[in-house]
Structure 1
């Protein structure tokens, strides 16, 4: 059974297909057609809804793409659509601002913009343009040119003073709290491989895997759901990892940053950026805000996609991953996890449990670069991450990893070893870049040629060297505007 609040109405679903999406439920079952289907892949934002859930800090609202979110993941949560924002015949402040600023023309995308702005309204984001752009990063409009939408968003943020949903907050928290105890598997099926399971502990997870060995793992499902929406495949058995204790938490201690596999990008952001602020742009470009609200580190590793952006960063930082099962666990470097195209070291009965990042070492340098056709919400042509630990200006350790170039992330131990001990500021960077290019063997595809990828990757190494050695020259480059054409 799946139980959630649709606005303030308790909903209980039984015998529902494991792969029914929130969008399908809203339009077909609930008759709420304000939420639109555009791309069915989480790219356009027409299907954006807001989900509320209890956290240790109280009720939290976040935007998500309903087209690639399974309805069972709403268990114990509240879902809001554009139809729910009007109260007592009055528009919500974000709707009113969009009307007054003429932020809608054809109107197809408007419900998604409204819901993203509603989530922003209920966040702690400052009334600044950058916060608005981040919140709207997953919403596309082909009519207005965005300016009136941004103007409306800035105005409503500057004037926000609470709404009807703030008045209902305590009541909603209580109702969701009561639902927490009802998170159970679906009605048993004749075939144990068909169904939806939401275990709470690692022990329950191990037993579920034993009873349904062919079931697929589900957390954010931002990649998995595309098998249904883009390839028309049925996903018969799903095991939701988001409620498993330990897999949904981030622990920071002296030994490292320990990130549960089901932690979303939005939830890992504070801990990651506290130690590695240089990863901010990389994290922002992983996907739009709704995607980062759902997508998980474990999921990105587990899919072993050749264009996954997290493996290069984790490999460059020397991260490790714990693989667990009902019989124990083992810890390996992330660099050894992915063994081929869409293949990993995971064995039957195992799951990705925790990713371990080392704490920041004093004096170290990190840069994470992503080259793609669009700035955000696009797959990488090249993702290059460089990490350097200097000792008296000599290379004590350097690690680099590259995504989007081949069937698996590339990392070049021999090339890295050749740089150890060299004086970093006076390094012959042209020679180092040439040797790097010689070791790369990227693919040709519709995104870019192999030749282009080699050239870009070598140039990113030069950029890393420039940014970490010649600060005065770099300042002149950026001030002259040359960097905008790099």
Structure 2
């Protein structure tokens, strides 16, 4: 166990809890703060939504997170806001007042989480901001489920809260007391239970070498489900979020190719501006990669290292020709992402190594990219099949075709035979039929609860058909996007 020092609703707190204690457990069971609810314990429903900020950041801002799957120890030095902290001297925050006026609460179980999502939406806007768009509302509230189906009054509250008077409250105070800056203490060589947050990449690789079986954690959006869903103890945790080198995005060249190095600890929300500017199809996928709460926590490096066959970003990165960098005490090595995935949940990562960063090449202006995700529901769901396609047209022929799928094999994987069938071909129905037929040589899909092997094979073929129809009708969307307003 170790001490955690943080601010709770503007007040300094100190706690002493086990490494695998979540923020939700800390609030409800250790501190008696019960406004935050547990619904799914997996980051899906949003009932446990709270807001967190780093007071030491250049521009402190609260973001929404799922308390049920966030380690309590990551609160060290942070400011945590719960629904109990929004009211000041009897005056409600605009998010609360708007929910009351618009009758946004029904059974009330989801309401604290909804209010906290509205709080972060409100705090991210200025007095001169226009009312939130439909897309912004969906992004802010997609991670909050209401089983009473009260979404319309919640939406009305979101639109109305900006016009309500705002009290001068704790979340605007810049004069929070200073916490004692205690450096993290490295675990003993034989420690059986610890939560350690290295401050540098060197420190991280050293503790990783000493504890190769310890679990690495950043966002914890997948790892923490082992604790909440499988009741697996997480006794040895190495938290990478304190390593600033892993939270950097920088322009670079790799073997003469321009692009960007993305630190393994960069969250999806932090990645959004880059993707919006240079990879719009990839940026569009982020709308359907979990909820805002998940995107505020989940990291690109974690999605890769997790090596799930249905992870959302690896197929896109494969199609883009990404390179992953692995770091250890002795060396730093780089390999193409397709060489990183070996078998189901097995990668080229050695026991003493960590994923340090990912290189994404800049797309040539003539290269096009499409990313299409199929899942059972639009919001906050895992892929059944995800297809990513890049290519360029030269004299009306397809060149440099790269196709990658998730959900079609034990690993995210390129469709090499389908690529060969299209390379150098004119855009014809017959050519794309050959590519569809080649999929049977590329993949033998799995059967699971998200789709049968037959469904997946047909769905992948249909995505190639969609690519053909898109190319045959340039400038015309042949199928509605999931977010079509």
TM-score (norm 2): 0.92
Query: What does residue 63 of structure 1 align with?
Result: 64
Structure 1 Cα separation of the partners of residues 281 and 56 of structure 2? 28
Query: What does residue 162 of structure 2 align with?
Result: 157
Query: What does residue 280 of structure 1 align with?
Result: 283
Which of 9, 34, 47 in structure 2 is aligned with 1:7? Answer: 9
Structure 2 Cα separation of the partners of residues 32 and 353 of structure 1? 37
Structure 2 unaligned spans of 5+ = none
Structure 2 Cα separation of the partners of residues 447 and 126 of structure 1? 40
* CA deviation after TM superposition for structure 1 residue 213, in Å: 2.8
Query: Does the CA contact (< 8 Å) of 1:257 and 1:357 recur in 2?
Result: yes
* CA deviation after TM superposition for structure 1 residue 11, in Å: 1.8
Query: Does the CA contact (< 8 Å) of 2:10 and 2:171 recur in 1?
Result: no
* CA deviation after TM superposition for structure 1 residue 435, in Å: 2.3
Query: What does residue 171 of structure 1 align with?
Result: 175
In the alignment of these two chains, the number of paired residues is 474
CA RMSD of aligned residues (A): 2.3
Structure 2 Cα separation of the partners of residues 305 and 190 of structure 1? 31
Structure 2 Cα separation of the partners of residues 344 and 207 of structure 1? 21
Relative to structure 1, is the Cα distance of residues 146 and 320 closer, same or farther in structure 2, using a 3 angstrom cutoff? same
Query: What does residue 109 of structure 1 align with?
Result: 110
Structure 1 unaligned spans of 5+ = none
Matching of residue 146 in structure 1 with residue 151 in structure 2: yes
Structure 1 Cα separation of the partners of residues 469 and 151 of structure 2? 35
Structure 1 Cα separation of the partners of residues 482 and 295 of structure 2? 28
Relative to structure 1, is the Cα distance of residues 288 and 482 closer, same or farther in structure 2, using a 3 angstrom cutoff? closer
Relative to structure 1, is the Cα distance of residues 67 and 386 closer, same or farther in structure 2, using a 3 angstrom cutoff? same
Query: What does residue 184 of structure 2 align with?
Result: 184
* CA deviation after TM superposition for structure 1 residue 62, in Å: 0.2
* CA deviation after TM superposition for structure 1 residue 450, in Å: 1.3
Structure 1 Cα separation of the partners of residues 355 and 483 of structure 2? 40
Matching of residue 356 in structure 1 with residue 359 in structure 2: yes
Structure 1 Cα separation of the partners of residues 483 and 166 of structure 2? 39
Query: What does residue 306 of structure 1 align with?
Result: 309
Structure 2 Cα separation of the partners of residues 346 and 194 of structure 1? 24
Structure 2 Cα separation of the partners of residues 417 and 386 of structure 1? 13
What is the DSSP-based 3-state SS (H/G/I as helix, E as strand, rest coil) of the residue aligned with 1:105? Answer: coil
Query: What does residue 234 of structure 1 align with?
Result: 233
Structure 2 Cα separation of the partners of residues 206 and 366 of structure 1? 36
Relative to structure 1, is the Cα distance of residues 156 and 317 closer, same or farther in structure 2, using a 3 angstrom cutoff? same
Query: What does residue 401 of structure 1 align with?
Result: 404
Query: What does residue 99 of structure 2 align with?
Result: 98
Query: What does residue 197 of structure 2 align with?
Result: 198
For each residue in 1:329-354, what CA deviation from the matched residue of structure 2 results, as whole angstroms up to 9, or x when unmatched?
Answer: 11011111121111111112100000
Structure 1 Cα separation of the partners of residues 362 and 170 of structure 2? 40
Relative to structure 1, is the Cα distance of residues 151 and 198 closer, same or farther in structure 2, using a 3 angstrom cutoff? same
> 1:286-435 maps to which residues of 2 (within 5 A)?
286-424=289-427, 428-435=431-438
Relative to structure 1, is the Cα distance of residues 470 and 158 closer, same or farther in structure 2, using a 3 angstrom cutoff? farther
